[in-house]
Structure 1
Amino acid sequence: MPNTLIFVDMPADDPAAAGRFYAEVFGWRDDHKPEGVYHRMVPGGMFPNPDGSDSAIGNLHLGIFDPANARPHPESDGVEPRAIATQGRKPRIWILIGDDDTPERILSAAEARGATVLWRDHFWGTFNGLNHAFRDPWGNEIVLWGKAGDPPKIPEGYTRE
């Protein structure tokens, strides 16, 4: 069995507020462990089988940690750096848009809660996806990925690469 990605963490200087943000924008369950220190965002559901039925593999979770004392760590007081990175490129988190949701609703909900829309309406042929992106109030970049279909159906006005 290969090494398996099971979790991705992102920083927020207010994990409780970030947990509420993602629960409200995406409808995920916010498990605080403990509240304000580390929040596990649980999207629910299972990865689909090729026939569309649920597989035995649960969707990946997203962790939100406080950079002032990133847990877990062997040092009880944590270590430097203790601030969110504000300059340059950072990891981006890709979210597959559910079949019963829209990028417009997600971007609107995120923006209403303090996010900044980075771009809308872009087709990336390499992965056959319709992409949109926002920066959350803590500086994390979220890229939305929608299925373009086979053959791809690219809406009018989309940029392409």
Structure 2
Amino acid sequence: MPNTLIFVDLASDDPSAAGRFYAELFGWQNDARPEGVYHRMVPGGFFLNKDGSESAIGNLHLGIFDAANARPHPDPAGVGPRTLSTDGRKPRIWILIGDDDSADRILAAAEKLGATILWRDHYWSEFNGYNHAFADPWGNEIVLWGKAGENPQIPDSFTRE
């Protein structure tokens, strides 16, 4: 059995606010464990099979931790650094746009909630998908992915690679 990815965490200097941001933006459950220290974002539902039916595999969760004292750690005071990373590249989180949602709605809502739009309307042929990106109010980069499907009709306004 291979080692399995089970969770990805985002840093925030206000996990409660970040939990509210993602709950409002994507409709995810904001599971504070405990409030303000660590928030587990639960999208609900299951990965789909090729025929569209739900598989037995639940959708992945996302964690939000307090950059001032990332838990868990053996020392109750945690370990440094204790601030958000502001320079250089950081991990990116990819979110598949649901069939009943749109990049335009998500980007507009993200911007209204304090996010910065990084780019929009790009087609990546290697993985046959439309993508758009924003930085949340804590500097975490979120890439939205839209399935292009068979024989995609890429709008002329989209950049491509």
Shift of 1:153: 2.3
Q: Specify every segment of 5 or more residues in structure 2 that has no aligned partner in the other structure, as ranges.
A: none
Moved over 6 A (4+): none
Q: Match of 2:139?
A: 139
Q: Which amino acid aligns with 2:117?
A: V
Identity of aligned residues (%): 75
Shift of 1:154: 1.2
Q: Which amino acid aligns with 2:129?
A: G
Q: Specify every segment of 5 or more residues in structure 1 that has no aligned partner in the other structure, as ranges.
A: none
Q: Which amino acid aligns with 1:147?
A: K
Shift of 1:93: 0.3
Q: Which amino acid aligns with 2:150?
A: D
Q: Match of 1:122?
A: 122
CA RMSD of aligned residues (A): 0.6
TM-score in terms of structure 2 length = 0.98
Aligned length: 161
Once residues 139 and 158 of structure 1 are traced to their aligned partners in structure 2, the CA distance between those partners, rounded to angstroms, is 25
SS of 2:23's partner is helix
Once residues 148 and 16 of structure 1 are traced to their aligned partners in structure 2, the CA distance between those partners, rounded to angstroms, is 35
C-alpha distance after superposition, 1:10-59 (max 9, x if no partner): 10000000000000011100000000000000011100111110000000
Q: Which amino acid aligns with 1:139?
A: G
Q: Match of 1:48?
A: 48
SS of 1:44's partner is coil
TM-score in terms of structure 1 length = 0.98
Once residues 70 and 35 of structure 1 are traced to their aligned partners in structure 2, the CA distance between those partners, rounded to angstroms, is 14
Matched, 1:158 2:158: yes
